[in-house]
Structure 1
């Protein structure tokens, strides 16, 4: 039979009280949310060879309002069809991009495929684009995360990823150390 001192009993009671449980639930929930955000905004796109963009205008309302995160993945030009949502460069080689829906696919006299796109909320088509301008086809999108994506630079996202990894490793080390101490304390009594 193990006899606990008053201080040990108080510590054990604190580990099962309502505040302890609330703290545990909140910390696990926060950890889960951070891991999910890192997964959908950084890890999954990077592993899939995709790029995340933020919708900045209302041209794709109602499906893609401003602030929505769209993740686009490169696809073969032959796989692009009418109705697909593409992200393309306004001018080939320039950083400015637009995300709109394909309304027609045609071929030039030289046989090069051209695409005409339009925002869902727009009345007019965009100027035709060529394959070199296409950055990718919509893979998935998430509401409101575009605001977070816009607020963070690529280097900040990298730092946050490493910070989260370090935090998780530190948390697991603290938990392991606490369990080891508790196990050692029970053996000594």
Structure 2
């Protein structure tokens, strides 16, 4: 009887992509790259969305909708409103102004600047004139004037957007303005092109690897 011995197994040749021992390491690295790529892509999208929404809300909204925005420059209303915060004010009938409201108005003296302070006293006359005394929450004394609210509308603070006023002020710097207005759109365009191009490249690599097996 003649015994038939099984043919010895030949060692599998390494693929064109590199030695077989390198494949597990490559597979372990791919999830990390995928996570980083996913995080970077969505971070970029969130940054763009935040910038667009901020622009629409602060620059376009007040001209289209019935509200106003103003950056707080002093700490007179701290801690509820800090310097650099943006206050959002909506219209209110002058006859509805009450003690305790935080309103935005022009002071009746000096440069007639706009301030945002809390109403501490309201005086209504028989002819319908409304005068108010105000005070900043952080100030020890009332404002040294009595303001007559002219017209039919006052503006009451409804919301506070923290710190965004500092960002707006910083963007007015010539260098930063050039960076964000001219260079940032170019960088965003390049990132979008890269994100479109890379998935196709990965598909090609996968097809090549599958054909080599």
Question: What TM-score do the two structures reach when normalised by structure 1?
Answer: 0.65
Q: Helix, strand or coil for the counterpart of 2:38?
A: helix
Q: Helix, strand or coil for the counterpart of 1:74?
A: strand
Q: For the residues of structure 2 that align with 1:26 and 1:146, how far apart are their CA atoms?
A: 22
Question: Are residues 25 and 117 of structure 1, via their aligned partners in 2, closer, same or farther at CA, if it must alter by over 3 Å?
Answer: same
- Is it true that 1:81 corresponds to 2:98 in the alignment? yes
Q: How does 1:2-13 map to 2 (within 5 A)?
A: none
Larger relative contact order (C-alpha < 8 A, sep ≥ 6)? 1
Answer with 133-142 or 76-85: which moved more: 133-142
Shift of 1:151: 4.2
Q: How does 1:8-19 map to 2 (within 5 A)?
A: 17-19=34-36
Larger Rg: 2
Determine the structure 2 residue equivalent to 1:142.
161
Q: Helix, strand or coil for the counterpart of 2:92?
A: coil
Within the candidate set 57, 81, 102, 2:74 is matched to: 57
- Is it true that 1:131 corresponds to 2:149 in the alignment? yes
Answer with 44-53 or 67-76: which moved more: 44-53
Shift of 1:100: 0.2
Contact 1:114 1:129 (8 Å CA) reproduced: yes
Within the candidate set 24, 49, 52, 1:35 is matched to: 52
Shift of 1:63: 0.5
Shift of 1:79: 1.9
Q: For the residues of structure 2 that align with 1:44 and 1:150, how far apart are their CA atoms?
A: 19
Report the RMSD for the aligned CA atoms in angstroms.
Answer: 4.3
Q: For the residues of structure 1 that align with 2:40 and 2:139, how far apart are their CA atoms?
A: 49
Unaligned runs of 5+ in 1: 1-5, 7-12, 154-161, 183-189
Q: For the residues of structure 1 that align with 2:113 and 2:57, how far apart are their CA atoms?
A: 23
Q: For the residues of structure 2 that align with 1:75 and 1:116, how far apart are their CA atoms?
A: 17
